[in-house]
Amino acid sequence: MKWQRRSLLLGGLAGAAGLAGGTAWLTRPTAVRVPPVPQGASLALVRDFDQGILKQENGRNVREFQITAGTSVLQLNSVVTFNSWNFNGRVPGPTLRVQAGERVRVIFQNQGGHSHSMHFHGIHRAEMDGVRPVRNGKTTVYEFDAEPYGIHLYHCHVAPVTRHVGKGLYGLFIIDPPGGRPPADELVLVMGAYDVNEDQQNEFYAFNGLPNVYRDQPIPIAQNQLIRLYLLNMIEWDPVVTFHLHANMFQVYPTGRTLTPQLEADVITMGTAERHILEFSYRFPGMYMFHPHQDHVAEQGCMGHFMVMPSPAGAS
Ligand SMILES: [Cu+2]
């Protein structure tokens, strides 16, 4: 497997570094170093962004997304399965990504067997707030302007919301600021939980849907590479959890609503639906844990590792 270089495709930063030959990309300002990533659905989720289909309508950029609510079985460990309710067949749902000021159109089909909806965080009219149930078999269209820039989320808002969210109906909604953010290796981590016996307590916790998935399959990142982590807490029943990064400090952009960091920490506290952008880089290669510091939450599955890979020879 080979190291990759990536240029940002968002915010007009694409193309400057080019993708053609040589090793000079390592020192180019827009090059982002991404180590070899093993095959696997869960590692794919961590760098997966859905930018929809871009259309021009009446001189405006419209970004159209197709979202289907459905069901699927998750294997939580070697013996426990869970009937998830989800968007586009995955928990969390796709990370929807748009630019500030674009028109967002979400064509939502409910094939989930129950009434569901899509409630977006952000600013929009009441009729687009997604609290009205969409019956099984029906389709509805949500349309609004992307504002304000930041890291937001969407989730089903049909009662009881604890059940619909706890079943897996949530995802990230990123609105990039005008001009985008500086190049980085961008990652998504969504903290979630499962109440498998419906006792209003969680028995399993997870990053990106599956307990312990990044504990057992560490996320490769490059030494000395700026990492931009889009982090969301969607754990129901526990009012608050933290996120802790080992052997490092991170810069916090609260709700992604700033272009400069507002805080440096190695533990940040997040209520349900709270989300932040964290930025950091690792100076030393090796394996580093990340997890909520409510240690029972980590011990019940919300635990992962970054594998910091030494940069290729010649890279700084
Ligand atoms: Cu629902």
**Average confidence (pLDDT) over 232-242:** 97
Q: Which of 57, 35, 76 is nearest to 225 (CA)?
A: 35
Q: Which of 100, 2, 88 is nearest to 50 (CA)?
A: 88
CA of 118 to the centre of ligand 1 (A): 8
**Res. 36 pLDDT band, cuts 50 70 90:** confident
Helix (H, G, I), strand (E, B) or coil at 45: helix
**Res. 23 pLDDT band, cuts 50 70 90:** very low
Q: Which of 194, 148, 149 is nearest to 169 (CA)?
A: 194
Phi and psi for 285 in degrees, rounded to 5?
Answer: -65, 160
Upper half-sphere CA count for residue 273 (Cβ side, 13 Å): 15
CA of 284 to the centre of ligand 1 (A): 44
CA of 171 to the centre of ligand 1 (A): 13
CA of 139 to the centre of ligand 1 (A): 14
CA of 132 to the centre of ligand 1 (A): 10
CA of 15 to the centre of ligand 1 (A): 41
CA of 69 to the centre of ligand 1 (A): 8
pLDDT digit string, tens, across residues 136-148? 999 999 999 999 9
CA of 226 to the centre of ligand 1 (A): 37
CA of 231 to the centre of ligand 1 (A): 22
CB 168 within 8 A of CB 71: no
The CATH label, of 2.60.40.420, 2.102.10.10, 1.20.1050.10, 3.40.50.1360, for the domain at 35-309 is 2.60.40.420
At 2 the pLDDT is 59
CA of 211 to the centre of ligand 1 (A): 22
Q: Which of 184, 138, 144, 166 is nearest to 11 (CA)?
A: 184
CA of 146 to the centre of ligand 1 (A): 23
pTM above 0.75, yes or no: yes
pLDDT digit string, tens, across residues 184-231? 999 999 999 999 999 999 999 999 999 999 999 999 999 999 999 999
At 40 the pLDDT is 74
CA of 168 to the centre of ligand 1 (A): 9
Write down the residue that tokens 């490092």 correspond to. Answer: 248
CA of 209 to the centre of ligand 1 (A): 17
Domain residue extents for the chain: 35-309
CA of 156 to the centre of ligand 1 (A): 5
CA of 48 to the centre of ligand 1 (A): 23
CA of 123 to the centre of ligand 1 (A): 21
CA of 151 to the centre of ligand 1 (A): 22
CA of 210 to the centre of ligand 1 (A): 20
Which of 36-45, 67-76, 186-195, 282-291 is least confident?
A: 36-45
CA of 203 to the centre of ligand 1 (A): 21
CA distance 248 to 24: 29
**Average confidence (pLDDT) over 282-311:** 97
